[in-house]
């Protein structure tokens, strides 16, 4: 492999991109002494979010996870009740179901978008017709097959909770993600397309639901002259300081998306002669926000790779590579990549939960993965895929070097 200079400054997967306006609103919060969970920044961020997403109500919370928890609570999930969830996602999509005592059942992924497979979802309803809540995530900023999923959920009378944490600014048939579910969530975590360093937003068109979340997220205080509490509450409200950062980021959302798209397109062009595919999307119906650029190595171009619970091994082969080799090589040059989210049905904490493929119960297929043959789609994408350095402060020259480094792994 050709040797390159180690990057002096680390090339990150996706780090915050600040512009200066953020400091203006944070300073305003400081100087006016609105440092708590009320203030002008919060009000403005909620207004900007409704304007961008096209929803009627937005409630600023401490994290996207908090928004998902409030959504699960509103959906009425009771202890022991099964809830259908995306399988390839971060566990923050699923954990709120457990907070309310629910029993997640994971729905396999499909190759077209790397999101929940509608065929597997329909199969899941055949097996568990009593389920009334479905939690859908849009992976890496790419919308799933929303129309098909909504049609299935409507048919079975199921509530949709849309996890749009990674997909702010992405659209499906011209409509923003975060507006398709009954209750929806976005995230402003430090690595997202725009950030507050933390924070999230609960979204809905239901005024009563929004009012409940405002109450629950401020410890469920009743309207009384003293601190009166008649139901369980949470300390989930966003700080006016954090909201100042988000407020300063919002004008740059479209700029960030354009930068992320350019990164994706440069990778796609740079890898056109390699045995790989970029993370796919339906160009006719969707416009991703391209939060993370990812690649999937062709099956016949995979060198031998074995993953345990916390470590991985591989054997180099001429003309072939694997995610572990590429990620380790990038790290040597001070560039950050990541594995694809490990499917929830493979996680030790959820390994005993239900898992449904389009053919039915998928547990036998997980054993095949352990033996080295990935038969369910989520496991296959995890085995062959990786997230590439996608930081929008990365220069074209730096990305060109990363492309050449990865090409070298296949020589």
- The DSSP bridge pattern shows strands 385-387 and 294-297 to be antiparallel
- The DSSP bridge pattern shows strands 82-86 and 103-107 to be parallel
pLDDT tens-digit series, residues 42-59: 999 999 999 999 999 999
Cα separation, 387 vs 158, in Å, equals 32
Cα separation, 100 vs 77, in Å, equals 7
Tell me: pLDDT of 312 over 70: yes
- What is the share, in percent, of the chain residues with pLDDT greater than 90? 95
Catalytic annotation, residues:
192
**Per-residue pLDDT band at 2 (split at 50, 70, 90):** confident
Q: Which residues contact 285 (CB under 8 A, 6 or more apart)?
A: 172, 173
Q: Per-domain residue ranges for the chain?
A: 21-252, 253-349+360-409
pLDDT tens-digit series, residues 362-382: 764 444 444 344 569 999 999
State how far the alpha carbon of 184 is from the alpha carbons of 48, 93, 135, 302, in Å: 16, 11, 9, 38
Tell me: pLDDT of 383 over 60: yes
State the Cα angle at 222 between 219 and 226, rounded to 5°. 95
Which two three-digit tokens encode residue 383? 């085995």
Q: Which runs of consecutive H residues, i.e. helices, occur in 222-376?
A: 240-249, 253-270, 323-332, 363-370
pLDDT tens-digit series, residues 149-201: 999 999 999 999 999 999 999 999 999 999 999 999 999 999 999 999 999 99
Cα separation, 267 vs 293, in Å, equals 8
Cα separation, 157 vs 129, in Å, equals 10
* CA-derived radius of gyration, the chain: 22
User: According to the model, what pLDDT value does residue 3 have?
Assistant: 80
- State how far Cα 268 lies from the chain centre: 21
User: According to the model, what pLDDT value does residue 360 have?
Assistant: 87
- The CATH class of the 253-349+360-409 domain is alpha beta
Whether residue 135 contacts residue 107, with contact meaning beta carbons closer than 8 Å, is answered with: no
Cα separation, 92 vs 251, in Å, equals 27
Q: Give counts: helices (H), strands (E), the chain.
A: 13, 18
Average pLDDT of the chain? 96
- What is the share, in percent, of the chain residues with pLDDT greater than 70? 96
Element (H, E) at 278: strand 276-278
Which two three-digit tokens encode residue 11? 């090339």
Neighbours of 262 (CB within 10 A): 14
Tell me: pLDDT of 271 over 50: yes
Query: How is domain 21-252 classified at the architecture level of CATH?
Result: 3-Layer(aba) Sandwich (3.40)
Cα separation, 163 vs 239, in Å, equals 22
State how far the alpha carbon of 192 is from the alpha carbons of 360, 370, 392, in Å: 34, 32, 11
User: According to the model, what pLDDT value does residue 368 have?
Assistant: 44
User: According to the model, what pLDDT value does residue 1 have?
Assistant: 63
3-state secondary structure 112-168: CCCCECHHHHHHHHHHCCCCCEEEEECHHHCCCCHHHHHHHHHHCCCEEEEECCCCC
Q: Do domains 21-252 and 253-349+360-409 have the same CATH topology?
A: no
Angle in degrees, 0-180, between the axes of helices 207-216 and 64-74, rounded to the nearest 10: 120
Which two three-digit tokens encode residue 100? 């309310």
User: According to the model, what pLDDT value does residue 363 have?
Assistant: 61
Cα separation, 107 vs 116, in Å, equals 6
């Amino acid at each position: 492999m050709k040797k390159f200079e180690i990057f002096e400054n680390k090339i990150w997967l996706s780090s915050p991109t600040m512009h200066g306006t953020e400091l203006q609103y944070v300073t305003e919060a400081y100087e006016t002494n609105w440092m708590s969970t009320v203030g002008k920044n919060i009000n403005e961020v909620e207004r900007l979010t409704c304007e961008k997403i096209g929803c009627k109500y937005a409630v600023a919370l401490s994290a996207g996870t908090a928004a998902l928890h409030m959504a699960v609570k509103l959906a009425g999930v009771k202890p022991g009740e099964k809830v259908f969830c995306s399988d390839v996602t971060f566990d923050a999509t699923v954990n709120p179901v457990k907070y309310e005592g629910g029993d997640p059942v994971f729905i396999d992924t499909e190759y077209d978008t790397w999101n929940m497979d509608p065929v597997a979802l329909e199969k899941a309803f055949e097996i568990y017709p009593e389920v009334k809540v479905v939690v859908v995530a849009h992976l890496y900023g790419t919308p799933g097959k929303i129309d098909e999923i909504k049609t299935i959920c409507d048919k079975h009378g199921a509530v949709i909770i849309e996890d749009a944490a990674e997909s702010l600014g992405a659209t499906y048939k011209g409509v923003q993600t975060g507006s398709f579910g009954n209750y929806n969530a976005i995230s402003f975590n430090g690595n997202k397309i725009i950030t507050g360093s933390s924070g999230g937003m609960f979204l809905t068109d239901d005024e009563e639901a929004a009012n409940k979340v405002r109450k629950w997220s401020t410890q469920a205080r009743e309207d009384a002259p003293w601190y009166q509490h008649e139901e369980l509450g949470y300390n989930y409200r966003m700080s006016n300081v954090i909201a100042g950062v988000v407020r300063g980021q919002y004008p740059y959302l479209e700029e960030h998306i354009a930068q992320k798209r350019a990164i994706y397109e440069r990778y796609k062009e740079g890898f056109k002669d390699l045995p790989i595919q970029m993370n796919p999307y339906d160009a006719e119906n969707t416009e991703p926000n391209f939060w993370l650029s990812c690649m999937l190595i062709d099956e016949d171009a995979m060198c031998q790779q074995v993953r345990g619970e916390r470590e991985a091994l591989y054997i180099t082969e001429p003309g072939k590579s694997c995610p572990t080799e590429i990620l380790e090589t990038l790290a040597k040059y001070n560039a950050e990549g990541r594995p694809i989210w490990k499917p929830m049905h493979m996680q030790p904490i959820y390994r005993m939960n239900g898992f449904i493929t389009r053919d039915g119960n998928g547990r036998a297929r997980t054993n095949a993965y352990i033996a080295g043959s990935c038969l369910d789609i989520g496991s296959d994408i995890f085995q062959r895929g990786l997230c590439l350095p996608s930081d929008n402060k990365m220069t074209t020259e730096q990305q060109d070097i990363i492309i050449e480094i990865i090409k070298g792994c296949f020589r």
